[in-house]
Structures are given as C-alpha cells and as structure tokens.
C-alpha cells in the first residue's frame, strides 16, 4: 500500500490536484456520520483532514473511529493539540508553526506528542505550517499567541516556506485560517511554489469553484476546504477537478 505522503508526491509529480475536507470534531454532529461518509465517498474529495484549534479530549478519537469503517479515503490528523491524536487515523501532519515564534508550537508540543505517537502506527508527515493574514483574528492566533504573516510580505512567506523545506519538512501548509475573510493571495501561492521542491497545501477562505481553480493554477498541490462544507454539506456535488 502506498503511503499517504507518497501518494501526495505522486499526484504532485503528475500534476493531479488533490482536495481535502477539514472536519472540526467540535463542530461535527456525530449522528450525521453515515450521511457525511456517503457524500464524501461520492464526491471529488481525496483526503479527510480531522482537527481543530480547540477540541475536547476524546472527541477526535470518537469521530475518527466512527468514520474509519465508512470510507476508504485516507484520514489525516491536522491536530491543534496532542489530545487530538487518534490511533485509528492513517496519518498525522506533524505540524510546526514556523510562521510564529512561540516555542510551544515550534517544538514543545511536538516533543509532548512523541510518547503518544510511539504507541500508534500513524504515518508521521513533518509539515511546516504558515499562518497568513486574512482580515480577521483566527482561532489559531488566539490559541498559539502568534501573529500571521501580512499578505504584502511575499518574500518573507517564501523564505519561511523554503526554510521549512531545508529543515526537512515534507509539506508546506499555507493557512489563512478557519472562516477566513480572504483566502491566501494567488500571487503569494505562486511566489512560494516557485522556490519549493516539496508539495504545497493551501487552506482557508476558499468558498467557490473559481477560488478552488485559482488556487490550483497558482501552484497549490492540495487544497483544504472546511467552512464552506460546514455551511453547505452539498458544496462538492457539482464540482469537478
């Protein structure tokens, strides 16, 4: 079986665009899990990301264990904290918030997670996480006590992303934040992508087919959509990659 990361690499090499839905366990109604699984299985979604900035203990595990038997799509943890690690997922984005300077989210939380990860079979994917200004304060800002990089500073974002790659990150994730007023600027995506040799994930503020297409054209290898689906469960019905 191909690993989740190798599958992303392979798709990027073939210029096949990937699409993930992000589920926030605290906002998801578990009684709708069967309907939800049916809809994503019939859609163009290629990955299911699970996580949130603030999630109660055990909620993530309950959601992942309920969803796992209902879909063949890879379930990837996108954790805001070590309490969101579920042994039943397929992989975990091992995030380091490289846009911020809070050591707690650069390395301390990662150290805390090791004792938990040792007891799982999760595929661990080192990921450089970069928060981009979107027009309003996000939950990530509040929790991490870090500031996003302003949208005008394309060079800083590109250099931060490249530094992440040189440090050994296997993915770079540009994030405008949940419920972002504005998605990551297209020119920024292009600027970042041209200097990377690893896959680029882009998420936050994407609510239309046009915005999705634009993000791909700018260089995103995988786009993550969360709020748009939360607001309309049929969002993906008429979208084709």
71 close to 48: Cβ distance less than 8 angstroms: yes
For the stretch 167-222, pLDDT in tens is 999 999 999 998 889 999 999 999 999 999 999 999 999 999 999 999 999 999 99
Q: Between vectors from CA 48 to CA 45 and to CA 51, what angle results, nearest 5°?
A: 145
The confidence score (pLDDT) of residue 201 equals 98
The confidence score (pLDDT) of residue 134 equals 95
Task: Give 54 or 239, the one with higher predicted confidence.
Answer: 54
Q: Between vectors from CA 48 to CA 141 and to CA 209, what angle results, nearest 5°?
A: 80
185 close to 151: Cβ distance less than 8 angstroms: yes
For the stretch 60-99, pLDDT in tens is 999 999 999 999 999 999 999 999 999 999 999 999 999 9
Residues 6+ apart with CB under 8 A from 111: none
For the stretch 107-153, pLDDT in tens is 999 999 999 999 999 999 999 999 999 999 999 999 999 999 999 99
The confidence score (pLDDT) of residue 236 equals 65
Burial 215-234 (b: 16+ CB within 10 A, else e): bbebbbbbbbbbbbbbeeee
- CB atoms near residue 239 (< 10 Å): 15
Reading the block at residue 118, the tokens are 């040792």
Q: Which of 80, 201, 76, 210 is nearest to 132 (CA)?
A: 201
- CB atoms near residue 61 (< 10 Å): 17
The confidence score (pLDDT) of residue 179 equals 83
Query: In which element (H, E) is residue 141 found?
Result: helix 139-144
The SS3 of residue 42 is coil
Residues 6+ apart with CB under 8 A from 124: 91, 92, 94, 117
Task: Give 238 or 73, the one with higher predicted confidence.
Answer: 73
pLDDT at 238 over 60: no
Return d(Cα 116, Cα 150) in angstroms, integer: 35
- Report DSSP letters for 184-237, one per residue: PPHHHHHHHHTT-SS-EEEESS--SHHHHHHHHHHT-SEEEE-HHHHH-TTTTT
Over the Cα atoms of the chain, what is R_g?
16
Q: What is the dihedral of CA 33, 38, 43, 45, to 10 degrees?
A: 40
What's phi and psi for 57, nearest 5 deg? -60, 140
pLDDT at 235 over 90: no
């Amino acid at each position: 079986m191909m690993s989740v990361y190798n599958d992303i690499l392979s798709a990027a090499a073939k210029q096949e665009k990937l699409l993930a839905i992000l589920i926030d366990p605290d906002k998801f109604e578990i009684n709708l899990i069967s309907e939800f699984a049916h809809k994503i299985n019939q859609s163009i979604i290629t990955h299911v990301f699970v996580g949130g900035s603030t999630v109660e203990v055990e909620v993530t595990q309950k959601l992942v264990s309920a969803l796992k038997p209902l879909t063949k799509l890879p379930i990837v943890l996108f954790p805001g904290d070590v309490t969101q690690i579920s042994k039943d997922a397929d992989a975990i984005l091992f995030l380091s918030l490289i846009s911020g300077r809070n050591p707690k989210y650069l390395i301390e939380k990662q150290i805390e997670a090791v004792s938990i990860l040792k007891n799982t079979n999760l595929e661990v994917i080192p990921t450089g996480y970069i928060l981009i200004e979107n027009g309003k304060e996000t939950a990530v800002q509040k929790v991490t006590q870090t500031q996003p990089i302003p949208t005008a500073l394309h060079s800083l974002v590109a250099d931060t992303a490249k530094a992440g790659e040189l440090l050994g990150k296997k993915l770079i994730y540009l994030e405008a934040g949940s419920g972002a007023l504005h998605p990551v600027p297209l020119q920024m995506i292009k600027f970042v992508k041209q200097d990377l040799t690893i896959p680029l994930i882009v998420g936050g503020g994407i609510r239309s087919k046009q915005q999705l297409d634009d993000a791909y054209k700018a260089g995103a290898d995988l786009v993550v959509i969360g709020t748009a689906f939360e607001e309309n469960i049929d969002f993906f019905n008429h979208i084709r990659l």
